Amino acid sequence: MRELNRRNWLKSTLAISAASALSTKKLNSADTEGNPNDHFGVLVDTTVCIGCRNCEWACKSAHDMPTDGFNEYKDREVFKEFRRPDSGALTVVNEYENKVNPLLPIDVKVQCMHCDHPSCASACIVGAFKKQKNGAVTWDTDKCIGCRYCMVACPFQVPTFDYDKALNPEIRKCDFCYKRTAKGELPACVNICPVEALTYGNKPFLIKEARDRIKRNPDRYNEKIFGEYDAGGTSWMYLASKDFYELGFPKVSTKPAPGTTEAIQHGIFAYFVPPIALYSMLGGLMWYTNRKNSLDEGDK
């Protein structure tokens, strides 16, 4: 497998070199369709979620991915470890201690945030990613060359790489059930949630709904709606009873991340810096941005 991966990396690097020389994609424009207010998204109310993990099962079923039996998802032992979405699970639920009420732990579903200004799309040199009119950030596996710039650029560390398909590279992430949502159907996770912890709607509706809940129950909620402005705004947004940074959320700027990565890419490509160097520089930039955001937050 190591050899395959190494060979695949070489293949990717050669493909990137070719793409960087031939690509006609405008690097200074993220592939974003429409007005963020028209985009649909989901409000995740972590104060309602019971950690049943039905959404994990439904997500895999909707994407024809291997699933354990439905009952296996009742196993709460998985909460002992912090998990991230990966190529075998496009969404996962993590559980956190609730110091106010230890009998009611806090469960947080994690998946792609479907950013209003997706840095995965602006980092992709072959234009494989696209923010669709309905809010979903999707990607085209036929265009993807497996360079993994999107993985480096994402402020939420969401895209993952299916290493089992080393000769046919595949990026995997939540696609907002685009096949369903494009037809007006609910995403599979929203559809199955037994306690309506997930609310589907357009962004203005979701923000109003979130503000109404906070107003009705100020003791229950942290005032912040995560995703209203974070990373320039995201289609998926969250409510919580405590500080989001204690619940695994990253400290991201309110500025859209693509502005910085695009400017650098544009400059680099203008001077034909080799793509491997770009990969390193983007990695360094994301590290610097995350560190700066952490320090900024620490100053508050």
Cα atoms in the 13 Å half-sphere on the side-chain side of 248? 21
**Region from 43-51, 95-103, 199-207, 246-254 binding ligand SF4, contact rule CB under 6 A:** 43-51
List C-alpha distances in Å: 59 to 92, 111, 114, 152, 277: 10, 10, 16, 24, 36
Among 8, 94, 111, 253, binds ligand SF4 (CB under 6 A): 111
C-alpha triplet 103, 49, 132: angle, nearest 5°: 155
Min CB(147)–ligand SF4 separation in Å? 15
Please give the residues from 114 up to 143 whose contact with ligand SF4 meets the rule CB under 6 A.
Answer: 114-115, 118-120, 137
Looking at beta carbons only, is 12 or 91 nearer to ligand SF4? Answer: 91
3-state secondary structure 72-137: HHHCHHHHHCCCCCECCECCEEEEECCCCCCCCCEEEEECCCCECCCHHHHHCCCCCEEECCCCCE
> CB-based burial of residue 279 (10 Å sphere; 0-12 exposed, 13-18 middle, 19+ buried)?
middle
Looking at beta carbons only, is 109 or 148 nearer to ligand SF4? Answer: 109
DSSP-based three-state secondary structure for 40? strand
Size of the site for ligand SF4 (CB under 6 A): 41
Please give the residues from 68 up to 97 whose contact with ligand SF4 meets the rule CB under 6 A.
Answer: 90-91, 93
Q: Report if residue 10 touches ligand SF4, rule: CB under 6 A.
A: no
Please give the residues from 187 up to 226 whose contact with ligand SF4 meets the rule CB under 6 A.
Answer: 187-189, 192-193, 195, 197-198
Min CB(106)–ligand SF4 separation in Å? 11
Q: Report if residue 286 touches ligand SF4, rule: CB under 6 A.
A: no
| Torsion, Cα of 85, 160, 158, 38 (10° steps) | -110
Residues contributing to the site for ligand SF4 (CB under 6 A): 49-55, 58-59, 62, 90-91, 93, 107, 109, 111-115, 118-120, 137, 154, 156, 158-159, 173-177, 187-189, 192-193, 195, 197-198
